[in-house]
Amino acid sequence: MAGDRIAASLAADHHGNRAEKKRVVTLGNVRLRDQETNEIILIPTPSSDPNDPLNWPQWYKYYMATVICLAMMICNFLAAGPSIAMVNITMEFFAGAHPGRNPKLFHEAVAKVAYFFTTCALMQGIGNFFWVPVANKWGRRPTYVLSYLIYFASAVWLCFERSYGGFLAGRVIMGFGAGAAETIAPITIADIFFLHERGTVMALYSSFLAVGVAIGLIISGVITIDHHWRVIFQVASALVGLVLLIAFFAFPETAYIRETATSSDDTSSTGTPRQRSSTEKNPTATISDPESRRAGGSSPLPKKASYLSTLKIFHGTITHESFFKLTVRPLGLICLPPVLWAALVEAATIGFLVAMTSNVEIAYEATYKFKSWQVGVCFVSALVGSLAGIPLGGWWGDKVADYFTKRNGGIRDPEMRLPAMIPAMITAPLGLVIFGVGIEKGLHWMVPNLGIALLNFAIVQGTNVALVYVIDAYRPVAGEITLAVMGFKSLFGFLLSFYTNTWVQQAGYLNAYGTMAAISAAVLVCWIPLYFWGKTIRHVTWGWPVIAYIHWREDREVGE
């Protein structure tokens, strides 16, 4: 799509006076290409305000995307990374627990130490029931800064904490602070990139979500060769502190309210007026009171905000929706079939990766006699798989969606992206089977490494397509959508991490990972019925009485 021409920014409204207005619209259904020239129409329509994130230079948008990806990677660095030193951590917190001299006590102690990682992962999901409403109510910038401040403080604390109870409390607080970046990132990406650009950037997001775990395991493993395992937290504290400084000094607010114009003809898929761009903006603030921003009247040509003004943490209220409604909406959204499917895709890929990492050191040590750092280095395969998934999750997904958009006369339905799920539908089950067979049969260590690579490829490629699909369908509540999906994934991964070792011991690696592969395949193949009937399903389910409470206010509309 790089070579495509871009239509005038208001082309979507220009064609609104034609037969376009007569067609029946549903959630996420927009005209993305000009009906006559086939040029790409900018969705959302940008304003003339230089402070509008949609008007930022392209290089600056990609700088912001880079910071988002860096924050994503670091937020998962400490989630799983220290688990590579599980044996040493166990022996330090529980005197006498040794795998050789007292295996019974050791295995009991390992189960308790596992809480350091399972509770952190759980809080990464649950904590977002606070952070996402904060981001939707008061902005992305305060969410990034405050959450990373908590993350940094807890990381420094754990460098020195010696008691089991204190360390567990620190890990819980760390999970609360670290999880915000994971869920706020898709909202930020949707704030600054046009609809036709998001696929590739979201693929980078999905990639760094997986890369963070792999990098954490690799670096943590290397550190343990010559250093105490607590050095992992010292190195991570420095990295978290660096991201915190970048967030404070070089990451402006991205939430921006555009004018709405009430018209009987121009309505969004929710039945509320679609937003249009306007030059009537506050020349100094990115966000101001929603009602005053929508009041009519003329104003001077907007001026670019000064650097000092962008350093403000809070810029005002974005929406008048209650904090309670913003908090409970994800619980209603998960009832919508497309959102539930996207959550299951995350659970059947990332959730199974969590299960794999919770067992991987034990598996490699028993089968190949690998040391901790050697197990960590094996996750280079995860990096390779993740990087390979970027173009097929982003560029390929955009090309597939654009191909079907052209065939549909320029009208984009979110389901047009779903055929891009085919690679993940194949590689996720295949990777799980290969890993299980490799460990069970004692094949060369590169065999289970290939399984890790294929699963990480599927995570980046498939989960990106699924997440972009539901965000396109319900864009005004992108934050709550991401929270519903990621929260479900975190809960699923939390439960799996408890039972994986027991499951594997009872059923064997082949049967356990074979079952995971079957579940993964059953979930991923559901893109086919959604492709054919997803539009109807979205339209019908949005009218369910139980869903009525989660419908959004007009001030959440973003012009899509």
Q: Which carries the bigger pLDDT value, residue 447 or residue 115?
A: 447
The string of pLDDT tens digits covering residues 195-254 is 888 888 888 888 888 888 889 889 998 998 999 999 999 999 999 999 999 999 999 999
CA Rg, the chain, in Å?
24
Q: Which residues lie closer than 8 Å to 130 by C-beta, 6 or more apart?
A: 176, 327
Cα-based distances in Å from 291 to 137, 266, 281, 560: 14, 20, 12, 20
pLDDT tens digits, 368-392: 999 888 988 999 999 999 999 999 9
Q: What are phi and psi of 135, to 5 degrees?
A: -65, -40
Least-confidence region, from 41-45, 447-451, 538-542: 41-45
Q: How far is CA 439 from CA 325, 380, 444, 445, 560, in A?
A: 47, 18, 9, 8, 48
What is the model's pLDDT at position 420? 95
Nearest Cα to Cα of residue 394 among 406, 402, 384: 402
Beta carbons of 82 and 174 less than 8 angstroms apart:
no
Angstrom CA distances, 225 to 189, 218, 375, 402, 497, stand at 38, 11, 12, 49, 26
Integer Cα distance of 178 and 180 in angstroms? 6
Q: Is 193 left (phi over 0), alpha (psi -120 to 50) or beta?
A: beta
Give the pLDDT confidence of 90-104 residue by residue, as tens digits. Answer: 889 998 888 778 888
Mean pLDDT, the chain, integer? 83
pLDDT at 211: 85
SS3 sequence of 80-115: HHHHHHHHHHHHHHCCCCCCCCCHHHHHHHHHHHCH
Grade residue 6 by pLDDT with cuts at 50, 70 and 90. Answer: low
The SS3 call for residue 516 is: helix
**pLDDT reading at 21 higher than 60:** no
251 versus 34: the higher-pLDDT residue is 251
Distance CA 181, CA 71 (A): 6
Is the distance from CB of 477 to CB of 457 less than 8 angstroms?
no
Output the pLDDT for position 161.
93
Torsion angle of the four alpha carbons 287, 289, 290, 291, in this order, in degrees rounded to the nearest 10: -150
Would strands 411-412 and 30-31 be described as parallel, antiparallel, or unpaired?
antiparallel
Name the pTM for this structure. 0.80
Select the more confidently predicted residue: 188 or 107. Answer: 188
CA distance 351 to 234: 28
For residues 99 and 527, give the distance between their C-alpha atoms in angstroms, rounded to a whole number: 45
Distance CA 488, CA 85 (A): 28
- The partner residues of 275 in beta bridges, in order of sequence, read 260
- Looking at residue 354, its pLDDT comes to 79
